[in-house]
Amino acid sequence: MKPPLTASKDSFTPAQLAEGERWYFTYCSICHTGPVNPNLMRSALATDAQAWQSVVHGGALKDNGMISFAPYLSTQQVESVRGYVLGQAKKTAAEGQK
């Protein structure tokens, strides 16, 4: 059974969402749209900005294969990716997909 889609009351600007989409498809989708790695729209980490930063920017899960993206993305860009992921989860839920 799949984990539930992530939900959050955090809000992001259209510019943040557009930037997040850009970086998501540049760096994240290659690993996070297949059957092996977590679907980020179902990741509880996306609901916690600090935890998300710790993993994506800080490399907290590097021993599990999730490298730090600090050499490639600023903390603001990492946050925009989080916004995009949360927005996509909300959109998917609204479309009735579970």
Q: Where are the domains of the chain?
A: 14-93
10 Å CB burial of residue 46 (0-12, 13-18, 19+) is: buried
Query: Tens place of pLDDT for every residue, the chain, 98 residues?
Result: 788 999 999 999 999 999 999 999 999 999 998 788 999 999 999 999 999 999 999 999 999 999 999 999 999 999 999 999 999 999 999 998 65
What pLDDT is recorded for position 98?
A: 59
Please give the model's pTM, rounded to 2 decimal places. Answer: 0.94
Interatomic CA distance for residues 6 and 42, integer angstroms = 5
Q: Which residues, 6+ apart, have CB-to-CB distance to 30 below 8 Å?
A: none
What pLDDT is recorded for position 33?
A: 87
Q: In this structure, which topology does domain 14-93 adopt according to CATH? A: Cytochrome Bc1 Complex; Chain D, domain 2 (1.10.760)
